[in-house]
Amino acid sequence: MTLISKSYIGSAEVEKIYLGSSVVYEVVSDPVEILLTGTAFGTLMYSSIYDYSKAFDGDISNFYASRDESGVKYIGIDLGSGNEAILSSARIYPRTSFTSRIYNLQLQGSNVSTSIGFVDIGNSTSTSPISGQWYDITGISDTTAYRYYRFLCTVDSQSVNMAEIEFYTE
């Protein structure tokens, strides 16, 4: 008798085919990542045509731009009350020809508000990415489900320009 069973480990699907009581074939699929969506937030837009939502609209031809002024600068997403999620990965698509403006960004999460209660949850962008390519954030090891995710600029005088930001959960 042949039997097929499906089960899940996290979001990875495990499929086993049995012949009698012996497993004759086993497949484990990669976890499926889900793009997180919500309301964009941030600080100090250069102008309203470069607003926060541009970094989350799926269009790499437009972008978010912060002011060049000194002070705290960040851009992020509010997943909404009851929609907290554990971040599995994040990536940034820099504004074309301005890749240096996503250098020194720290990935953070919070459950307090869009401006306070943030903790570092992944490696910072320590090198400038290549123009026209996605930059993957590494070192995400925090397993806390957060409502707010953001990138904080760690250099006071640096402007921040991003064509797209994507946050994922499994």
- pLDDT at res. 117: 97
pLDDT in tens, the chain (170 residues): 555 666 665 556 667 667 777 766 666 666 678 999 999 998 877 878 888 899 999 999 998 888 766 678 899 999 999 999 999 999 988 887 776 666 678 899 999 999 999 999 987 766 667 778 888 887 898 999 999 999 988 876 677 888 899 999 98
Q: Where in the chain is the domain with CATH 2.60.120.260?
A: 34-169
β strands within 10-42, DSSP E: 12-19, 22-28, 34-35, 39-42
The pLDDT value recorded for residue 84 is 98
Please state, as a whole number, how many other Cβ atoms lie within 10 Å of the Cβ of residue 51: 17
Structure-token match 């497949």, residue found: 27
Three-state DSSP state, 148: strand
pLDDT of residue 95: 83
Which fold is adopted by the domain 34-169? Jelly Rolls (2.60.120)
Q: Are strands 89-94 and 119-120 parallel, antiparallel or unpaired?
A: unpaired
Where would I find the H helices in 40-165? none
Which residue type, as a one-letter code, is found at position 18? Y
Say what the pLDDT of residue 91 is: 92
Of the candidates 159, 5, 4, 132, the residue with the CA atom closest to the CA atom of residue 68: 159
> Which three-class secondary structure state does DSSP give residue 133?
coil
